[in-house]
Amino acid sequence: MTRIEVRGLTKRYGHDTAVDDLSFTVEAGQVTGFLGPNGAGKSTTMKMVLGLAAPTSGSVTIGGRRYRDLPVPLTEVGALLDAGAVHPGRRACDHLLALAAGAGLPRRRVGEVLARTGLEPVARRRAGEFSLGMRQRLGIAGALLGDPRVLMFDEPVNGLDPEGIRWIRGLMRSLAAEGRAVLVSSHLMNEMAQTADHLVVIGRGRLIADTSVTEFLNGRGEGAVLVRAEDPAAFALRLTAAGAVVREGTGSAVVVSGLTAEEIGRLAACHGAVLSELTPQRPSLEDAFMELTGDSVEFQGVSA
Ligand code: ADP
């Protein structure tokens, strides 16, 4: 099984440490979400996997070998780092044919990746005429050309419309289902929770969490419960008597903590209270992520 192994990886630019003693593994057969606020060091890490930046110390290997030791890298690892990297005057098919020829891959692969990325109808159009979503697909077609076992995508859904986002999510899932190791970066927790099986969270270049998505979601504990009762004041008294903390919600709703939704339902049944809503309120994933990375966010000036 081909995996990416990052061990003690560090990258310094002058006095700044972009990646700081980072270790994690990207396993085959799953989507690993690489999560962190902007400036956390995700792109720098991905560049080091691809040999585009040299580590100050530590190592990163793909299937046990460093990138520069891979005989035909495109057949081992495919990456989408910057979708704008195609010459605007080039036709999509010519761009892919040139890539294939450069790596000694058969021409038929071009047709195959055009089909997989839905670009067949626009294969003869120039990249400069492409929308962002189509440029992303072209970048992904290039990454898939060598049928690699390892794939990396840097913020692939940035700027895409809902249809484009849905397509990328589906593609990641299907690549992982084929047994490939998929690493995808994002600064959006919700996005990752919908796509990834595993999460590697970093902040200021350091590892903050390395966990399955299920564990991460379960670890956030019980949130509050939104309750709408026919007689809110009377039911609030019952709830407080049962040990809950009751706060006012919007309209006639109250927000209850200290009891589960099931316990509140039983309490209502026991006292013959009529409820029209009983909704567990999980703290949002975005909140959980902010809590986790709060200290590590770099404060950057707003450019004019
Ligand atoms: P992310 O992808 O998580 O947004 P990056 O890897 O792009 O983060 O950046 C991490 C840090 O490294 C940032 O502080 C960034 O300014 C710095 N950095 C990245 N590339 C360079 C470079 N070529 N020279 C100097 N600093 C860099």
Do 199 and 58 fall within a single domain? yes
For ligand 1, whether the C-beta of 225 sits within 6 Å is no
What's the CA gap between 83 and 163, in Å, rounded?
18
Most confident of 15-24, 155-164, 238-247, 248-257: 15-24
| Closest C-alpha to ligand 1, atom 24 | 13
Strands 150-154 and 77-80: parallel
- Statement to judge: residues 25 and 97 lie in one domain: yes
Same domain, 142 and 169: yes
CATH number, position 235 = 3.30.70
Domain edge (last residue) among 172, 195, 218 = 218
Q: Quick one: which atom of ligand 1 is closest to the CA of 154?
A: 2
The verdict on residue 251 lying in a domain is yes
Ligand 1 pocket member 41 (CB < 6 A): yes
Given the CA of residue 46, which atom of ligand 1 is nearest to it?
A: 6
Query: Where among 196, 218, 240 does a domain terminate?
Result: 218
Tell me the residue range of the domain where 152 lies: 4-218
Last residue of a domain, one of 183, 202, 218: 218
The residue type found at 141 is A
185 lies in the same domain as 160 = yes
Q: Are 94 and 113 part of one and the same domain? A: yes
Angle CA(257)–CA(220)–CA(29) in degrees, nearest 5? 150
Q: Give residue 16 CA to ligand 1 midpoint distance, Å.
A: 9
Average pLDDT, stretch 39-60? 96
Range 77-91 average pLDDT: 84
Closest-lying ligand 1 atom to the alpha carbon of residue 205: 10
Indicate whether residue 11 lines ligand 1 (CB < 6 A): no
Question: Per the domain annotation, does 289 fall within a domain?
Answer: no
Mean of pLDDT values over 33-56: 94
Number of folded domains in the chain?
2
Residue 40 CB–ligand 1 contact under 6 Å: yes
Which tokens hold the place of 152? 């990396």
Shared domain check, 83 and 15 = yes
The predicted structure's pLDDT at residue 299:
45
Q: Is residue 214 part of a domain?
A: yes
Please name every residue paired with 151 in a beta bridge, in sequence order, or none if there are none.
78, 182
Most confident of 21-25, 117-121, 250-254: 21-25
Q: Is 186 in the pocket of ligand 1 (CB under 6 A)?
A: no
Least confident piece of the model among 51-60, 248-257, 262-271 = 248-257
Rounded Cα distance, 97 and 138, in Å: 12
**Which CATH number goes with the domain that contains 143?**
3.40.50.300
Q: Are residues 74 and 174 in the same domain?
A: yes
State whether the beta carbon of 232 lies less than 6 angstroms from ligand 1.
no
Residues 195 and 266 in one domain: no
Q: Do 238 and 177 lie in a common domain?
A: no
At 6, is the pLDDT very low, low, confident or very high (cuts 50, 70, 90)? very high
Q: Would you say the CB of residue 52 lies under 6 angstroms from ligand 1?
A: no
Number of the ligand 1 atom closest to the C-alpha atom of 44? 6
User: Considering the domain boundaries, does residue 119 fall inside one?
Assistant: yes
Q: Which of 37-41, 148-152, 160-164, 251-255 has the highest mean pLDDT?
A: 148-152
**122 domain-assigned:** yes
pLDDT computed for residue 219 by the predictor: 64
Q: Ligand 1 atom 5: the closest Cα is on which residue?
A: 41
Average pLDDT of the chain to the nearest whole number:
89
Dist CA 30 CA 17 (whole Å): 29
Does one domain contain both 149 and 277? no
Domain check: are 98 and 207 in the same one? yes
- Measured in angstroms, how far is the CA atom of residue 39 from the centroid of ligand 1? 6
Clarify whether residues 171 and 258 are in a common domain: no
Could you write out the three-class secondary structure of the chain? CCCEEEEEEEEEECCEEEEEEEEEEECCCEEEEEECCCCCCHHHHHHHHCCCCCCCEEEEEECCECHHHCCCHHHCEEEECCHHHCCCCCEHHHHHHHHHHHCCCCCHHHHHHHHHCCCHHHCCCEHHHCCHHHHHHHHHHHHHCCCCCEEEEECCCCCCCHHHHHHHHHHHHHHHHCCCEEEEEECCHHHHHHHCCEEEEEECCEEEEEEEHHHHHHCCCCCEEEEEECCHHHHHHHHHHCCCEEEECCCCEEEEECCCHHHHHHHHHHHCCCEEEEEEECCCHHHHHHHHHHHHCCCCCCCC
Q: Does ligand 1 lie within 6 Å of residue 218's CB atom?
A: no
With a 6 Å cutoff on the Cβ, whether 38 touches ligand 1 is yes
**pLDDT band with cut points at 50, 70 and 90 for residue 301:** very low
Q: What pLDDT is attached to residue 275?
A: 95
Going by pLDDT thresholds of 50, 70 and 90, the confidence category of residue 296 is low
Q: Is 113 left (phi over 0), alpha (psi -120 to 50) or beta?
A: alpha
Decide if 159 is inside a domain: yes
Return the pLDDT at 83.
61
Q: Is residue 46 part of a domain?
A: yes
Q: Is residue 256 part of a domain?
A: yes
Radius of gyration of the chain (CA): 24
Task: Determine the average pLDDT of the residues in 38-42.
Answer: 93
Cα(18) to centroid of ligand 1, in Å?
6
More confident site: 222 or 226? 226
